[in-house]
Amino acid sequence: MAVGDKICNDGLNLALSRLHGTTLSAVSVAQIGVGTTTPAASDTTLGQKIPFTGDTVQLFDDSTDWTGSADATAAANNTTTYKEMNDSTDDTSQSFGKSGSASATVTYSSDIVSDDMSNANERFYVWFYIKDATALAKFETTANGGIRIYISDDNFTKADYWNIGGSDSSVGWNLADVSVASPDGTIGAGADLSAIIDVRVQFIVTGAAVTLTSGDLIFDSWQMARVGTTDFNSTSFDAGPTYDTSLKTVETQTKILTTEANGFSISEVGLFNTESTPDMFSHHVFTGQSKTRTDEYRITCKYVAEEGS
């Protein structure tokens, strides 16, 4: 993967503006991500930002939450392959499968506590796991979407859905990152996002007779986070900014708590100000670090001013 550090064009403009006394806000916010693209001066956002925290839509920690369609195997608690998330008790995922031959489409549905998802800045983050290449080859890869998620306010007579798996899926863990306000399609008039009470996982295989062993497909942690809030924007600087006027350096240290960003392989950080459209001061990409709830991270960014001719 690419690694590197870059002060961005917006960051240079921000520095010049504050040098001359304009009212642009100072750098005070950190964002983290899982992107792996080499930083560039033209960057204005991270490659793929992730939340420090958010709201749980479904933990996938209880098989009795899920009702399968005719061909579905019984949902099964999996305590071997799971994502360790922010919840201190979340050591369980759900194994889904297919045993019948009535249809190529299988669904698993679950009720949730009524949730308002109507803010335009909400995003879903959903983890799913495909066991091996044999299992991967069984999923539909056309525009129909081999793997989908649904939300509904009326038992799926009205619903929104997102295609989260298909031709771009891979063996192992896959992260779906989608805008709640931009579904790939709807059932009926679409879901009333202010009162969501049902969620569904659907997968389509390449033929009605194709089966999946329980554990070929695993889901864990369906999270919702709001862009522009503390879900994504951390002001938890453990140290700094600190200045060394002799060496002409400034240093910040972003803290990621044991209860934040668990389950992700963190590979980038960006520093921003707090304008309505934030200016990205700098972008840093590094070798991914897998975050668990026993880890507390501190990411140090150090800037050195050099004399010019």
**What distance in Å separates the CA atoms of residue 243 and residue 191, rounded to the nearest whole number?**
52
Q: Are 198 and 217 in contact (CB under 8 A)?
A: no
Which of these, 205, 185, 218, lies nearest to 105 by C-alpha position?
A: 205
Q: Are 91 and 59 in contact (CB under 8 A)?
A: no
User: Prior bond to 241 cis, omega within 30?
Assistant: yes
Q: Quick one: pLDDT at residue 306?
A: 76
Q: Are 135 and 216 in contact (CB under 8 A)?
A: yes
Q: Quick one: pLDDT at residue 20?
A: 86
**What distance in Å separates the CA atoms of residue 253 and residue 107, rounded to the nearest whole number?**
45
Cross-strand bridge partners of residue 178: 124
Is residue 15 helix, strand or coil? helix
Q: 13-39: per-residue pLDDT in tens?
A: 998 988 887 888 988 889 999 999 999
Q: Are 174 and 264 in contact (CB under 8 A)?
A: no
pLDDT above 80 (res 167): yes
The helix (run of H) or strand (run of E) holding residue 18 is helix 9-19
Residue indicated by tokens 């240079």: 12
**Mean pLDDT in residue range 239-249:** 79
Residue indicated by tokens 């798996």: 165
Q: Which residues contact 248 (CB under 8 A, 6 or more apart)?
A: 304, 305, 306
Least confident span in 103-117, 126-140, 249-263: 249-263
The helix (run of H) or strand (run of E) holding residue 270 is strand 265-272
Phi/psi region, residue 18 (left: phi>0; alpha: psi -120 to 50; beta: rest), is alpha
Cross-strand bridge partners of residue 200: 109, 150
What percent of the chain clears pLDDT 70, i.e. is strictly above it?
Answer: 96
Query: Residue 284's CB: how many other CB atoms inside 10 A?
Result: 19
Q: Are 2 and 43 in contact (CB under 8 A)?
A: no
Global pTM? 0.90
**Mean pLDDT in residue range 103-132:** 96
If pLDDT is split at 50, 70 and 90, which confidence band does 47 have?
Answer: very high
Which of these, 153, 219, 151, 155, lies nearest to 185 by C-alpha position?
A: 151
- Domain map of the chain by residue range? 4-51+230-304, 55-226
pLDDT above 90 (res 112): yes
Q: Which residues contact 168 (CB under 8 A, 6 or more apart)?
A: none
Q: Which residues contact 60 (CB under 8 A, 6 or more apart)?
A: 92, 93, 94, 219, 220, 221, 222
If pLDDT is split at 50, 70 and 90, which confidence band does 87 have?
Answer: low
If pLDDT is split at 50, 70 and 90, which confidence band does 309 have?
Answer: very low
User: Which CATH architecture fits 55-226?
Assistant: Sandwich (2.60)
